[in-house]
Chain A
């Protein structure tokens, strides 16, 4: 399957999480904090810490470590606090 990361089509496999896809691409950080704009990415990896937030299909605050990719998903970095579009 293919998904879109930050505007570019990338390969993905059934069973991969968003974090799995991004880490596989060598991406370490995909969001910034809303207070100081510091980069964040995966931390706890099992859904507890809510640090790996990412935007999927226009919806922010999705945990990249918990969300399995679906064909055609539009995945974008999240900048601080965002509203759904």
Chain B
């Protein structure tokens, strides 16, 4: 295959968000080149649980994007199946639902306030008592005080999802190049004319910064800095088991941890079975820069919280722990749109732990904006020119 010498759009970053953007742009007829300095789907995407969640989002712009994304995922998978066939389009999609559980009397009230607001915002959620929750998840601790069931919460295997999206891009004549670092932009007349890759310049009309936790670094190299920071997360993986957890089950305080900007380690249990039988145990959130070292204390706290939620897991082997960096913005909203300081430079990132779920909605919004179409979800809250992201372009 001869390498692409020019492209309509170069997507920098071949994680789930870059892959989804490339898919949406190639579906719109653009010639797309995706580059990644490492292996495609090899960093944050390979460290995610594959959440497609509505349950962990309070009403607001992110929930609106999540609702749109949740509708788009099955459509996207249908498209991939038609173009790539069953095997290559398999992403272990499971619309299995989520169960948020309260473990104290005093977390019932806040949970009910959240579900009421979510229902008004269009989320399908049922309030459950202890009995109904334990009937739904027989291995769940009897210490549960109340629960909320979200039938629309779903899961995909993130690497399968990203590689399937990239396969579609290739099938449409696009190209995916791993081990290829984009070092900056070629700028002509004040707008993007290409991207610098190694010693070469690849001419293109637009560049999408989908570098995940490293999006801040690339934005600096591109001459239009935005504030995207890494937050570290660890996940434990058990040996394969018979199905012990039917849904994605997490404690109500997870929602608070997601929204928190604390520097300190936050651990709240998130437990779910995967299609291959393993149980994934998250989730920790910690601001430690790009430090990859193991911290046994984090693993211990994850284990403790999981055993508390599902006592049956106590004697089960844990065989793996993986960690990754999630990209977050200071105001906890993704950034999707063109950079007003550098026409032709687009950003798509800052999804923190929700990138898998929000990828299709993000990609659709980006493609609509690039085509000067009005997106289904209001893009204004996600714009680049907002105070939290770029102090120098206050609006």
A binds B: yes
**Closest partner residue, chain B, to A58 (CB atom):** B315
Q: Which of these binds chain B: A17-25, A39-47, A77-85? A: A77-85
Please count how many residues in chain B sit with their CB below 8 Å of the partner chain's CB atoms: 11
Given contacts A34-B277, A61-B317, contact A81 B312 (CB under 8 A): no
Report how far A81 CA is from B241 CA in the complex, Å. Answer: 5
Encoded as 1 (CB less than 8 Å from any A CB) or 0, chain B from 291 to 328 comes to 00000000000000000000010111100000000000
Whether A82 contacts B242 by the Cβ 8 Å rule is yes
Encoded as 1 (CB less than 8 Å from any B CB) or 0, chain A from 31 to 67 comes to 0001000000000000000000000000101000000
Q: Does B239 contact A (CB under 8 A)?
A: yes
Encoded as 1 (CB less than 8 Å from any A CB) or 0, chain B from 226 to 269 comes to 00000000000001111010000000000000000000000000
Report how far A63 CA is from B242 CA in the complex, Å. Answer: 19
| Chain B interfacial positions (CB closer than 8 Å to A) | 239-242, 244, 277, 312, 314-317
| Chain A interfacial positions (CB closer than 8 Å to B) | 34, 59, 61, 80-84
Instruction: Summarize B's interface: helix, strand, loop or mixed.
Output: loop
Report how far A82 CA is from B241 CA in the complex, Å. Answer: 6
Given contacts A34-B277, A59-B315, A61-B317, contact A83 B239 (CB under 8 A): no
Closest Cβ–Cβ distance, residue A45 to chain B (whole Å): 20
User: Can you list 15 residue pairs at the A/B interface with Cβ under 8 Å?
Assistant: A34-B240, A34-B277, A59-B315, A61-B239, A61-B316, A81-B239, A81-B241, A81-B277, A82-B241, A82-B242, A83-B241, A83-B316, A84-B312, A84-B314, A84-B315
Closest Cβ–Cβ distance, residue A85 to chain B (whole Å): 9
Please indicate the chain A residues that have their CB under 8 angstroms from the CB of B317 in the complex.
61
Closest Cβ–Cβ distance, residue A57 to chain B (whole Å): 10
Please indicate the chain A residues that have their CB under 8 angstroms from the CB of B315 in the complex.
59, 84
Report how far A80 CA is from B241 CA in the complex, Å. Answer: 8
